[in-house]
Structure 1
Amino acid sequence: MIDVVVSGVLFDMDGTLVDSTAIVEGAWGRFGADHDLDPQTILAFSHGRQTIDTIRQFLPDLSPDEQRRVALELVNDEVENTDGIVEVPGAGAFVRRLRDAGVPVALVTSAPRDLAVNRMRAADVPVPDAFVSAADVEHGKPHPDGYLRGAALLGLAATDCLAFEDAPAGLEAAVASGATTVAVGPLATDVAADLPRITGYDGITVTPEGDGFRIRG
């Protein structure tokens, strides 16, 4: 159950607004096969993190240049692949409700900008003007840099924002930023245990209240 008054909203992308599970699992599955690594172990670490951070974790002996090359190849393979991408239930309509109500909204993703835009458009979810991608932060999730920057782009403190996240690293980042944080989906980890949780956005209402907006659902 969500019932909070905030000044702005911050969204993760994959798993939070769009469902790209098949593409992500396929990419990391092929990577695991190429490097004799267990795909499930890779996926458990990679969810919510920048690609380069996952490469550094599982291929630590490569030079930094080679790590970046491998990461870029993975990203390039995914950028144009939008087959099977759909919205998380109600995500597009909810983002439009926020926009129509005048709520400042920012996207905070570990994905590169082109990949994120393609996936959002494929799922028919509006792309916010305020946008923090992998290239815009020095430290990726679980560091709070992205959420702090997203709030700053809205002219707000993160503590005045509501953040929606689905992954352990992302939830850690959002909570550390001070944003009121909602877990999206079935994630069962300690970081999500005490957070409000949703499985979709249908029925979440947005109404002006004082200097902010009450979001309830």
Structure 2
Amino acid sequence: MAGTTVADGGLVEQAFGQAATSQGVAPGSAEYERMLAHVRATMGESKITVFRHLFGDEDRARAANRAFEAAYHDLVDQGRCTALPGAAEAVHRLRDAGVKVALTTGFSRDTQDRILAALGWQDLADLTLCPADAGRGRPYPDMVLTALLRTGTDAVQQVAVVGDTGYDMLTGRHAGAGVVVGVLSGAHREHRLRAGGATHLLHSVADLPALLLEEER
């Protein structure tokens, strides 16, 4: 969602700052900058997985994740989370054409629901999924395969995975999706998306219906 259909204006990094501070990592320190670089490199991955890597201790990772989510929720509640131009319209157009749409995230269910509520998107898609709904987060294929099962899709080749990070692309490839689309509106640039396995690149998710409906024809 964030970076693909949702513009969060750097809220992930701001919330990470709160999480790091809660664990005694001072902003501007060498440790903080090292951790921030990892956060940027792993955009799209399940957040608890990121914190487990950074802190190497389950209790600290969970505490950091709680602080991250609390900070992110505050920022969302302040209206700092907005829809990317054309995102909702793209979902409507796809659904009108008979394409099932699932919105997935690396955030928790609580955070995802906050974002959906802030945007009025509770009923926008056919399905919304977070890592806890499927088993594992990106780059594992669990959310894509869960979406396939819940929407009654016949084959993985009929699935298109769309995202703004290399982890989204890896997820699509690991799941066997027929189309893996990288959008250039978010965290990672063209070289990272191609390295992850993108079959197509778009400037915006607003261009997705034209691509998918043309592919279908």
The answer as to whether partners of 1:50 and 1:110 remain within 8 angstroms in 2 is: yes
Q: Which moved more, 1:25-34 or 1:130-139?
A: 25-34
Identity, % of aligned positions? 23
Give the letter aligned to residue 45 of structure 1: A
Per the normalisation by structure 1, the TM-score is 0.78
Q: Letter of the 2:93 partner, please give it.
A: R
**Deviation (angstroms), 1:159:** 1.9
**Structure-1 separation of matches of 2:100 and 2:80:** 29
Aligned length: 197
- Of structures 1 and 2, the one scoring higher in RCO (CA 8 A, sep 6+) is 1
Counterpart of 2:67 in structure 1 is 73
CA contact (8 A) 2:39 2:50 kept: no
1:124: Cα distance to partner?
A: 5.1
Say whether 1:18 aligns with 2:9: no
Alpha-carbon separation, structure 1, partners of 2:207 and 2:165 = 23
**Cα contact 1:97–1:206 (8 A) shared by 2:** no
Measured on the aligned residues, the alpha-carbon RMSD in Å equals 2.5
Specify the alignment match of 2:130 in structure 1: 133
Cα pair distance change 1:30/1:46, threshold 3 Å: farther
Match of 2:167 in 1: 169
Deviates more, 1:182-191 or 1:136-145: 182-191
Q: How does 1:103-182 map to 2 (within 5 A)?
A: 103-123=99-119, 125=121, 127-156=124-153, 157-179=155-177, 180-182=179-181
Contact 1:47-1:169 within 8 A present in 2 as well: yes
Other structure's SS at 1:131 match: strand
Q: Distance in 2 between matches of 1:41 and 1:102?
A: 40
2: distance between equivalents of 1:202 and 1:37? 36
Structure 1 residue 57: Cα displacement: 0.8
Q: Which runs of 5+ in 1 are unaligned?
A: 1-12, 208-212
Question: Structure 2 stretches of 5 or more lacking a match?
Answer: 26-30
| Whole-angstrom distance in 2 between the partners of 1:103 and 1:159 | 14
2:51 is matched with which residue?
Answer: 55
Query: 1:123: Cα distance to partner?
Result: 4.0
Contact 2:173 2:197 in 1 (8 A): no
Q: Which structure is higher in helix share? A: 2
Give the letter for the 1:14 counterpart: A
How far 1:32 moved relative to its partner?
4.2
Relative to structure 1, the CA distance from residue 170 to residue 121 in structure 2 (aligned partners, 3 Å threshold; closer, same or farther) is same
Match of 1:210 in 2: none
Preserved contact between residue 45 and residue 54 of structure 1 (Cα < 8 Å): no
Q: Which moved more, 1:129-138 or 1:167-176?
A: 129-138
Structure 2 partner of 1:100: 96
SS of structure 1 residue aligned to 2:180:
strand
Query: Whole-Å Cα distance in 2 between the matches of residues 24 and 15 of structure 1?
Result: 11
